[in-house]
Amino acid sequence: MKELTQEQIETIRQDPDNTSWDYISRVYILPEWFMREFHNYLDWNHIISYQTLSGHFITELYYNVDNSLMLYHCCDNKNYHNLKLLLKLGIKLDNIAIYLLKRQ
């Protein structure tokens, strides 16, 4: 994964609506302050799948994102770091997420 440069961050701040958030969420290592600042724009399914998040940040996300789908995306993309943190919070897969994992 790549790191965002300060120049890229400034460009994003100037016009966040014309940014490829799907791509940024998947390809770049995003610091937590950046994710907090642009939380309304980010693709959270990609964030939980591809970023390595801290336990504190996972706890913040716990209240803002569909918990079972977060767990599903971690399993699907083999992000075991985030998966372990989600399981510690007691998040369980719902029937839809289990069905999607079985279909693979």
Give me the residue spans of the domains in the chain: 2-103
d(CA 97, CA 37): 29
- The pLDDT profile of the chain, 104 residues, written as one tens digit per residue, is 899 999 999 999 999 999 999 999 999 999 999 999 998 898 888 888 899 988 888 877 766 665 667 777 888 888 888 888 888 877 777 777 777 777 76
Q: What is the pTM of this model?
A: 0.75
- What does the H/E/C string look like for 21-72? HHHHHHHEECCHHHHHHCCCCCCHHHHHHHCCCCHHHHHHHHCCCCHHHHHH
